[in-house]
Structure 1
Amino acid sequence: MKRRTLLSLTTATALAATPLLAADPPEDADLADTQTFSYRMLDQFPTLDPALNEETAGFHAIRQLFEGLVTQDSSGNLRPGVATDWSSEDNTTWTFTLRDDATWSNGDPVTAEDFVWAWKRAADPATASPYAWYIELSSIENAADIVAGDADPDTLGVEAVDEQTLRVTLDQPLPYFPAMTSYATFMPVHQETVEEHGSDWTDPRNMVSNGAYTLDEVSLNEFWRASKNPEYWGAEDVVIEEVTGYVINDVNQALTRWESDEYDMLEPLPAGSFPRLKEQYPEAAHSVPRLCSYYYALNQREDAIPELKDPRVRKALSYAIDRDVIVEQLLQGGQSPAYFFTHEATADFQEPQVEYAEWSQQERDARAKELMDEAGVDSLNLKLIYNTSESHKQIATVVSQMWKQKLGVETTLENMEWSTYLDVRKAGNFDVARSAWCGDYNEASTFLQILTTENEQNDGRYSNTEVDELMAESRTSDNPQELYTQIEELLAEDMAIIPVYHYANTFLLDTAVKGFPMQNVENNWYVKDFYRVADE
């Protein structure tokens, strides 16, 4: 089923159709005396700076501490954040009206100039944001030149008309621009705090934020904690008083601790455990669509091994992976086999006709062997890296066995903690890298853009000029979906990456916690929307 957000909006004015309130417990709800929410994190987030964030763990925390122009409701539809409404006559010039009661945690007003400064900072090469490309992708005027170092950040097409009015000028029409501003890169930061403390501004002793919660403590590789922000404009509707995230690398230990009531939400579940846990905890175990795709990046850089530069070898490696075994026997949580990159639940996405997806696994295996013979490869040794996780380990082990048994490929598996893994992957010190991409907004370009030649997230350095040209064309097309389909077919022909599966979000949530957004396929949850009921 396709889920739609305001991404399809092309009308002149976008006004909120959803309530401005945060948590909204029924009048007869028996609220718990203690209002807390806690959850498990697989890895320590590398940063809480919105401009420097590039991964999911950090974004989950940043979403609680900071608020952008817009947020999302339980179904992923846009709703007011700092902006009360937004409008455009031509999808090129956008005007956002900011609420006059938005304040920073130190009591300063949140103004349009805060967004102007934060966005220029994110685009500025001096900031070295790994998501500067996202500013460019948004089509803000002059962003591409600024990110490339060819223009001054002050020329970015964003202007504070007055304290409560932000005007954004794009290089081309982009009807889903407001949706893009819900991501961390577009959140405001407090200029005086950043300038006074430099890289230490995100320390709990220094941070000034504008979200529903303020940062209390970060214990590296152990936990982070935040408490309700009394200066938040919607504070009177925020029920949860304290948020804690616990870093627990071992998912089996994480499950044991959840069963001991140490925290409220475990995400994701141990591979293969969902059927059992659903039977054991029918009200607490959930599987919902999630806008993420799991894949293996293949190193195609200049210094990569020559075999991986041959599309026949890349195809052989992909064809030899039995995705049904991975999703039905290992994961068992509602995931689906992936033969293309974009998640199948993406709004308005038209699935491509990918030939090998229609074959039986026996046919894929046979063709894989033929391709290796055609490429003249009779011996191949690969290094496959992944970040520490039992699920990633299990998948990598099974994949390496499939490659060995079917193609004679030897694979060395290397796991590493999250920040090290990100550094190694970005430096290209791998042959194959466990990867995943979660949509920053609900539209196919959020996936396909990262496989363009110059994209910072294209760690394998795949490059196809036709893909680049089609992606550029899609940004001004009246019907980009047809172009996205063509791009997916090119990616499959090149085997730019190896798609493995499309995510479902499997998790355990304490039944006392209410308000979780089960229908938000981007898995963007805001603790300000939660509340806890008394145990029955």
Structure 2
Amino acid sequence: MKKSKLSLLLVLSLVLSMFLAACSGGDKNQGTDTSKNEGKDKPVTEESKLADKQELNVFESAEIPTMDSVLGTDVMSFTTLNAVNEGMYRLDQDQKVVPAGAEAMPEYNADKTELTVKLRKDAKWANGDPVTAHDYVYAWQRAINPETKSEYGPYFMGGKVKNADAIAEGKAKVEDLGIKAEDDYTLKITLERAIPYIESFITFQLFYPQNQKFVEAQGADYAKDAEHLLSNGPFKMTKWQGPTATEWVLEKNDTYHGAKDVTLTKININVSKDPQASANAFNAGEVDITPKLAQAAIIQQFEGSKDLIRYQEPSLFWIKMNEKNKALKNINIRKAIALSIDKKALVDDVLANGSIAADFLVPKEFAFLDGKDFREGTKPYLEMNKEEAKKLWEKGLSELGVKELALNYVGGDTETSKVSDSFIKNQLETNLPGLKLTIQPVPFKIRIDREQKMDYDLLFTGWGPDYADPMTFMDLMLTGGDHNKMDYSSAEYDKLVKAAQTDLAAKDQERWKALQDAEKILIEDDAAIVPVYQRSVNLLINQKVQGFAHHAFGPDYSYQWIKILK
């Protein structure tokens, strides 16, 4: 899913002054380095009793673009939806797919193209209505209906759920979609073909149910603010004034079937786009969980503290190059840009937070086959080479018949985004003579809109996986795809990715090789995007907060297991 850009760097002048301090400050891994979910194994004993007030204060770095589960495309929306709603399945604290709104894991037919899901009968909406199979059918049909204009509906279901493509193209009725209510609590899901990752796939927020009566009663106001939302999850949203709101409140949902296991009564969330202000608020006891911290100077303040939680996540950040721009249609210009950024120096010497330079699209330590990482057997693509970059740049300019080039670069509006974009601007303008880069910092929601409208030359973006398979990254760049949005097209890339989706779906090794070959075409042969880094997360979490869970794909976090200790 689209990731809010949480930055890379400090302004170059600031970086140089802070670098020596960071290097002399001891082991970078002194902070709590965890691949598990913080605090889940701590029992609440007589010595560590619950606090009287079970209220959590959280800072986030961006607003919520939407709370309509069929329209969401970003991590902020999905993390919040994960708190206030629930689908058939969810990720538990150990990243395992477990039943949520369902009674058990799916039952399959012989070729695994049909799933039968039995729903629990005690699940309710916050208004008291039962959550039924019809709510899932309605939501899925609404997501694929062309009139809804859902970006993720066709992207997620196309080629997977039976008849999804035909419906999205207006060639079939929404009622033909491969999801049926056999009765009030039994769903039959029919796939176009067996999908190896189907169970993690259907945990995703797009597949949550929606209460048809409620949605249709709200009309155009549905999900525009807290008043026009209906929850079936651990919490309900009691305050949110829409996509521009910088604060919102979640409260325990007493109608939730697992309410007895939810200890928190209230979560207060505020947007803070200044990392130092977030750190100061944490030190002052005003916030329990900060946004992800990316600036080395701020992280350095907390090295060695048990409040600092660090883990590697499978989120990739890259620069998109819009080939509708004649200059960026030129392969030599694109390769020159790709070869001009010293990513390793950037993450090691500037970011200094555990993030790693990325010369790839599918993250490290994310996808495995027979115990082997997807990255094994591949090489880095288009590593920095200033001399080669300059040669290709000059060749590209000659082919275009120009000596200079002016490009706009759409970045984020947070303080850390602004300084990271300044660093990248400095790198590109220094290494590519004649380039003038104009940075355009915009809020996350506007950046998404600019991307969708292809209103940019260069755009910094990121993606976090939606399910546990390389395909969650690889199908983004298919010709004409909803997430391509840069006019990139490669028949060979399309052929390999589509083969991995279809003919090779049950041939694990061949499928893996096809995706690896496609990745090489995308990044090295065509230089369609410029991968920049794979993020390491650094959070400040109050030690009294127990049961915080972070996830490898889908929503960033789950709050439902959190307890506040005295």
- What is the TM-score of this pair, normalised by structure 2? 0.86
Partner of 2:175: 154
Q: Size of the alignment, in residue pairs? A: 506
Task: Tell me if 1:283 matches 2:320.
Answer: no
Q: Quick one: which amino acid aligns to residue 441 of structure 1?
A: Y
Please report how far the alpha carbon of residue 523 of structure 1 lies from its aligned counterpart in structure 2 after TM superposition: 5.7
Post-superposition Cα deviations, 1:42-88, rounded to whole Å, max 9, x if no partner, equal 12111101011111111111111110111001221101110122121
Deviations along 1:330-377, one digit per CA (max 9) or x if unpaired, are 221111101011111222152276666486x4xx11111121133244
Match of 2:493 in 1: 467
1:259 to 245, 269, 283: 283
Find the residue that maps to 1:381 and give its secondary structure.
Answer: strand
**Is the contact made by 1:123 and 1:135 (CA closer than 8 Å) also made in structure 2?**
no
What does residue 367 of structure 1 align with? 388
CA contact under 8 A between 1:292 and 1:439: conserved in structure 2? yes
State whether residues 78 and 555 of structure 2, in contact with CA within 8 Å, keep that contact through their aligned partners in structure 1: no
- Confirm or deny that 1:319 pairs with 2:339: yes
Partner SS, residue 103 of structure 2: strand
How far did 1:267 drift? 1.9
Residue matched to 1:19: none
CA contact (8 A) 2:317 2:462 kept: yes
Letter of the 2:474 counterpart = L
Deviation at 1:462, TM superposition (A): 1.4
Counterpart in the other structure of 2:233: 211
- Alignment pair present for 1:434 and 2:434: no
CA distance change for structure 1 residues 345 and 523 in 2, over 3 Å: closer, same or farther?
farther
* Partners of 2:213 and 2:379 in 1: CA distance: 56
Please name the residue that 1:119 is paired with: 140
Whether 2:510 is the aligned partner of 1:514: answer no
Indicate the residue corresponding to 1:406 in structure 2.
Answer: 431
Is 1:135 the counterpart of 2:144 in the alignment?
no
The equivalences for 1:71-110 within 5 A come to: 71-85=90-104, 86-89=106-109, 90-110=111-131
**Cα shift at 1:278:** 3.4
Q: Is the 8 A contact 2:340 2:386 kept in 1?
A: yes
Q: 2: CA distance between counterparts of 1:25 and 1:193?
A: 40
Q: Which of these residues, 346, 359, 367, is aligned with residue 339 of structure 1? A: 359
Distance in 1 (alpha carbons) for counterparts of 2:159 and 2:253: 30
Q: Percent identity?
A: 26
Three-state SS of the structure 1 residue aligned to 2:240 is strand
Residue among 370, 374, 382 paired with 2:407:
382
* Structure 2, gaps ≥5 residues long: 1-39
Amino acid at match of 1:33: D
Deviation at 1:297, TM superposition (A): 0.6
Q: 2:330: which partner in 1? A: 310
One-letter code of the match for 1:471? V
Cα deviation, residue 517, structure 1: 2.4
1:217-244: CA deviation from partner (whole Å, max 9, x where unpaired): 1144320111111110000010011122
Shift of 1:316: 0.8
Q: Deviations over 1:10-32 (max 9, x none)?
A: xxxxxxxxxxxx99953444111
Residue 293 of structure 1 aligns with an amino acid whose one-letter code is L
- The residue aligned with 2:25 is none
What residue is the counterpart of 1:180 in the other structure?
201
State how far apart, in whole Å, the 2-side matches of 1:393 and 1:533 are: 37
Aligned to 1:191: 212
Offset of residue 383 of structure 1? 0.6
- The aligned residue for residue 228 of structure 1 is 252
Between the aligned partners of 2:307 and 2:405, the Cα distance in structure 1 is: 45
Structure 2 partner of 1:26: 44
User: What is the CA–CA distance in structure 2 between the aligned matches of 1:193 and 1:322, rounded to whole Å?
Assistant: 52
Give the aligned partner of residue 16 of structure 1: none
Aligned to 1:68: 87
Superposition deviation, residue 518 in structure 1: 5.1
Are the aligned partners of 1:317 and 1:403 in contact in 2 as well (CA < 8 Å)?
A: yes
Letter of the aligned partner of 1:267 in structure 2? P
Partner of residue 51, structure 1: 70
Distance, in Å, in 1 between the alignment partners of 2:432 and 2:479 is: 30
Q: What is residue 41 of structure 1 aligned with on the other side?
A: 60
Check whether the contact 1:23–1:237 (CA below 8 A) recurs between aligned residues.
no
CA 1:100/1:25 → structure 2, altered by over 3 Å: closer, same or farther? Answer: farther
What's the counterpart of residue 296 of structure 1?
319
The whole-number CA distance in structure 2 between the counterparts of 1:370 and 1:339 is 20
CA distance in 2 between counterparts of 1:273 and 1:510 reads 20
What's the counterpart of residue 18 of structure 2? Answer: none
Partner of 1:242: 266
Output the CA distance in 1 between the equivalents of 2:196 and 2:378. 29
Where 1:297 maps in the other structure, the secondary structure is strand
Q: Work out whether residues 278 and 286 of structure 1, in 8 Å CA contact, stay in contact via their aligned partners in 2.
A: no
CA distance in 2, matches of 1:319, 1:245: 40
Kindly report the root-mean-square deviation, in angstroms, between the aligned alpha carbons of the 2 structures. Answer: 2.0
